[in-house]
Amino acid sequence: MPKGAYHVLITFLEPVSDEDAEKTSAMIDTVINQDELSEIRATQFGISKKEYEILKLVQKGFSNSQIAKELEIGTGTVRNYVSSLIHKMNASNRTMLVNLAIEKGLLIP
């Protein structure tokens, strides 16, 4: 299963018809990976893939230097990305950035 995908557990308390079982199976097959959906939403806010990757690390509480080490980029580059994210989301700080991103469905709480 892809990273970030939700596992679905279905328990039937009553026997179901073959038709209902097929409908349920089809519904499960169309479940969208929530992480992918969040990334798609991020593009609607003009957030690049790299910015989205950094946003997820900010949510985890990583400092700029930790993000830089994780992504093998400079701390100044991380600072610029974070500043860009704060501007794009109309946030005033990192905490507000993450809260707004969760509120708008860009991050999974």
Range(s) of the domain holding residue 96: 34-103
The answer to whether residue 24 is domain-embedded is no
The pTM score is 0.70
The answer to whether residue 5 is domain-embedded is no
Residue 8 confidence (pLDDT)? 45
Residue matched to tokens 């992480």: 35
Tally of domains within the chain: 1
Q: Are 4 and 108 in contact (CB under 8 A)?
A: yes
Residue 25 confidence (pLDDT)? 60
Residue 7 confidence (pLDDT)? 45
CATH code of the domain in which 55 resides: 1.10.10.10
The answer to whether residue 55 is domain-embedded is yes
The string of pLDDT tens digits covering residues 51-91 is 999 999 999 999 999 999 999 999 999 999 999 999 999 99
* pLDDT category of residue 4 using cuts at 50, 70 and 90: very low
Q: Which two tokens stand for residue 99?
A: 């809260």
The string of pLDDT tens digits covering residues 8-42 is 444 444 555 777 666 666 665 555 577 777 888 88
